[in-house]
Structure 1
Amino acid sequence: MLKSVDGLMKPFMHECNMDSLKSIDELRAVASGLRKEGLNSQQIADELSLSQDTIAWLLAGSNQEEKPKDVRIGWRTIGVKPKRIAAIASVMADVVDEEIGAQNVDTIVGISINGISFAHEVASMTDSDVTVFRYVESHEGQGVLSNKYGKVSGKKIVIVDDVLSTGVT
């Protein structure tokens, strides 16, 4: 879910999923909508995770040949490379250690589906058990812990999820 720093975004933007924006025309429409909402180029760039040069190009309606060379990093960029998962998980494990001490964590809970690979890596790095939480489709907002992994009852846990895939969690 997109959220403006200034809270200026209208409801239509809250429905927008950046992962689903595939075409230049869609990006241009979203950038124009944000401009109409009163956001400046820097705020639009922040909202869309694009450079200010690209925002200027989108808002100017420039042709394809002049387009800036942004590199979009989404779930597929990260999730298909185990080394990248491990690198990000290393940062997560470092934060866990800094904030609560890795020795104080019993179980790492990975939120299905994209949080699972991060959780496995963090658990390995913190010498913790791992378990998986998955949603129950028939009950919106509810889920269950898998009984095939570590238990959480009475344990000190850390919950690991990604925010790149849907932003729903």
Structure 2
Amino acid sequence: MANLSSAFQDALADQSKAALVAIIAKNPGTTVRDLKQLVSDNPMLGSITLGGLLGVGGVARGRGGRPKGSGSNVAAAAAAAPGAAAAGAAPRKAGKPGPRKGAAHKRNVRTETGREALDKEVLEALTAHGGEAVAATQLRQSLNADPTQLRTSLNRLIERGLVTFTGKARGTRYSLS
């Protein structure tokens, strides 16, 4: 039931974000102040950020961190990255460095398919490490996984009865059931 509830919450968050993008597109005079009020009045929008909402991460920025020429008008920022607002993320500019070496690989776990894929990778990594008394750090290094995503995946697998654990904190070890 917890997985179903989580999937439902993720779907609601995605739809809320899409609705907010549509509203901004239909109301070109929307200001940051208006958006702030809207987000605070609607907790279902969660911790959505302006950059994440508009996908303006790759837009050239002027003083104060706003996209150049945007003033406080949010619609101008949306117009500066029209495809990015619909896709949810701006492409990285050429010449910018990628993730730092050794940085954890962020997987898309916002969808059920993405979560299942990560869970499968975790089970395969546990098997590769012998399946008994494996530390989270070993799993994280072999998968190049984000610690939070790995911990959440392990908790799902424990809930489903596929993985067991012993110990606490850094002494926690995971085993296949």
The normalised TM-score by structure 1 is 0.30
Compare the two structures and name the one with the higher helix fraction. 2
Compare the two structures and name the one with the higher strand fraction. 1
The normalised TM-score by structure 2 is 0.29
